[in-house]
């Protein structure tokens, strides 16, 4: 037995040493913070700072190149001497949304943005590309980063508090690392933050295709202590300095929650291994948001948190477009019809080249008929009631009751369509009633239903594969 104990001890020591060696092989995480300034017709970029985050790079170096063609922007890291492409990722940004609002027609604004990548050993060129009017990527900015420069900031940011392992299924480099970042939770409310994080994690993994890929994820939580409970809601005169800076009323939309405090957000998040982030706000008014490759948000105590969380995470995780078109939004429609880059909407310019054509059953017409007029008439009546509730500042319970009835009626109405449950091209998507099409009559990206359509599921699985290799 003593010999066996020694053998087991040596095996454990060997495994520990190998784990430490594997961790040591991972480069550090480098981050380039920059400023994005402009309006609806012009923009400029300027370097802010180069930061080395406190934790190693969480991703797999063998999957450093992004081949998904997702995002309004794409950044590339090239070896400066040889030009070799070392890393790339597509993403979208707050500026990219803001420039389509009415405000962008009348003024300039500046937004802080960040690019994260494995720390290089030698100087690199960071190349930022943006889609042109034809949706092709073109270079808009580049800068050189020397990892040995004395101006690279290696200082550790203020602590975000203990890192909570919600669900760990393996080494970060082989998993999708997902961080749930609480905002508006006081130190005394930390147990609530952790409970909310566990609850919403289970909701995400009860939805296909996340359910089938649960083991491909690690889920972490951070709950930085807020001085007071809750977040800002300017439309009701509430302003709070929460740790992450999340606020309702982004772009004047009462339900849209974003943070514009990129530095604080990035510094707090850097205390967890992450590739995707959900900002969990300690609030109960209906609201959330999601930007591809940046973050998504959800009001944790809203009755509709399960729907909002999964819907907005679809934006953030897989670049899914909104398929609804009857609700008010802050964005102005594009004057040019081109094929969207988002995987779940199409302009149907060439039906024979439909990007999800392989999922369409023979005999399904393109475009595909549905009870569109009935749906629009009903939706307009709901929107009128919704505006009345908000205008009169009536209890949130009234809005919840309206949404409950709306979901029941819409599910029934859409299920009665001849092509319900089949993949086609159904007009009405991307905030517009005409000229854009969605894959199925119903999907969580269209209404408050509980499932993704087949096209959205496939898009999600493609991103999972990029990070986990599964």
**In a domain? residue 67:** yes
Token pair, residue 398, equals 């009234």
Question: Which residues are within 8 A (CB) of 408 and not within 5 positions of it... i.e. 6 or more apart?
Answer: none
Q: Cis link prior to 85 (omega < 30° from 0)?
A: no
DSSP structural state of residue 78 = E
- pLDDT at residue number 329: 65
What is the four-CA torsion angle of 164, 168, 174, 176, rounded to 10 degrees?
-60
Find where tokens 């024979």 sit: 352
Tell me, yes or no, whether 175 and 289 share the same domain. Answer: yes
**Continuous H helices in 69-143:** 94-98
3-state secondary structure of 167: strand
Q: Which two tokens stand for residue 114?
A: 């960040």
* In a shared domain, residues 97 and 62: yes
Residue 47 sits in the same domain as residue 74: yes
State which of 271, 303, 318 marks the end of a domain: 318
Q: Give me the CATH number covering residue 292.
A: 3.40.390.10
Tokens 């994260």 correspond to 116
Number of domains in the chain: 3
User: Are residues 187 and 291 both part of a single domain?
Assistant: yes
Q: Using CA atoms, how far apart are residues 305 and 284, in angstroms rounded to an integer?
A: 9
- Strands (E) in 312-450, as ranges, are 426-429, 432-438
Looking at the structure, do residues 133 and 235 belong to the same domain, yes or no? no
pLDDT tens across 7-48, in order?
433 443 443 344 334 445 899 999 999 999 999 999 999 999
pLDDT, tens only, 278-293: 999 999 999 999 999 9
Decide if 155 is inside a domain. no
Distance CA 437, CA 432 (A): 9
pLDDT at 25: 83
CA angle 172, 258, 220 (to 5 degrees): 20
Confidence at residue 17, expressed as pLDDT on a 0 to 100 scale: 41
Whether residue 3 is contained in a domain is answered as: no
Pick the closest to residue 44 from 92, 109, 134, 91 (CA basis): 109
116 and 213, same structural domain? Answer: no
Whether 109 and 64 map to the same domain: the answer is: yes
Determine contact, residues 417/273, Cβ cutoff 8 Å: no
Q: Residue 289, SS3? A: strand
Domain of residue 378: give its range: 351-447
Quick one: 314 and 217 in the same domain?
yes
The helix/strand count (H/E) of the chain reads as 8, 17
Report pLDDT for 332.
64
> What stretches in the chain show pLDDT beneath 70?
1-24, 328-333, 335, 470
Is 216 part of a structural domain of the chain? yes
Element (DSSP H or E) covering residue 14: helix 2-25
């Amino acid at each position: 037995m003593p010999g066996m104990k020694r053998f087991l001890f040596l095996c454990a020591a060997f495994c520990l040493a190998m784990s430490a060696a594997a961790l040591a092989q991972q480069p550090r995480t480098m981050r380039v913070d920059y400023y994005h300034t402009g309006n609806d017709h012009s923009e400029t970029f300027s370097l802010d700072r180069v930061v080395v985050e406190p934790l190693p790079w969480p991703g797999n170096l063998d999957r450093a190149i992004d081949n998904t063609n997702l995002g309004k922007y794409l950044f590339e890291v090239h070896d400066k001497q040889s030009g070799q492409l070392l890393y790339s990722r597509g993403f979208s940004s707050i500026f990219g949304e803001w420039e389509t609002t009415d405000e962008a027609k009348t003024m300039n604004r500046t937004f802080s943005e960040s690019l994260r990548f494995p720390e290089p050993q030698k100087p690199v060129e960071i190349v930022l590309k943006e889609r042109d009017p034809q949706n092709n990527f073109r270079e808009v900015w580049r800068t050189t980063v020397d990892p040995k420069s004395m101006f690279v900031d290696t200082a550790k940011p203020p602590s975000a508090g203990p890192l909570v392992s919600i669900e760990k299924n393996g080494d970060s480099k082989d998993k999708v690392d997902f961080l749930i970042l609480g905002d508006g939770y006081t130190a005394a409310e930390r147990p609530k933050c952790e409970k909310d994080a566990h609850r919403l994690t289970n909701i995400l993994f009860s939805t296909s295709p996340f359910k089938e890929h649960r083991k491909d994820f690690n889920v972490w939580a951070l709950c930085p202590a807020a001085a007071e409970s809750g977040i800002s809601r300017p439309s009701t005169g509430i302003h709070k300095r929460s740790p992450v800076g999340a606020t309702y009323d982004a772009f004047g939309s009462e339900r849209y929650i974003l943070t514009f405090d990129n530095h604080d957000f990035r510094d707090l998040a850097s205390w967890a291994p992450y590739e995707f982030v959900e900002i969990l706000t300690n609030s109960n008014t209906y609201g959330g948001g999601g930007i591809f490759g940046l973050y998504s948000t959800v009001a944790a105590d809203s009755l509709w948190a399960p729907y909002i969380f999964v819907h907005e995470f679809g934006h953030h995780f897989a670049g899914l477009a909104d398929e609804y078109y009857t609700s008010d939004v802050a964005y102005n429609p594009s004057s040019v019809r081109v094929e969207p880059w988002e995987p779940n909407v199409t302009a149907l310019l060439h039906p024979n080249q439909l990007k999800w054509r392989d999922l369409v059953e023979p005999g399904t017409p393109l475009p595909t008929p549905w009870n569109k007029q009935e749906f629009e008439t009903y939706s307009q009546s709901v929107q009128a009631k919704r505006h009345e509730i908000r205008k009169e500042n009536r209890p949130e319970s009234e809005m919840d009751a309206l949404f409950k009835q709306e979901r029941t009626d819409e599910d029934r109405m859409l299920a009665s369509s001849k092509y319900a449950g089949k993949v086609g091209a159904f007009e009405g998507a991307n905030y517009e009633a005409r000229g854009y099409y969605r894959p199925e009559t119903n999907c969580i990206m269209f209404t408050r239903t509980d499932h993704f359509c087949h096209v959205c599921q496939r898009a999600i699985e493609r991103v999972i594969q990029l990070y986990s290799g599964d």
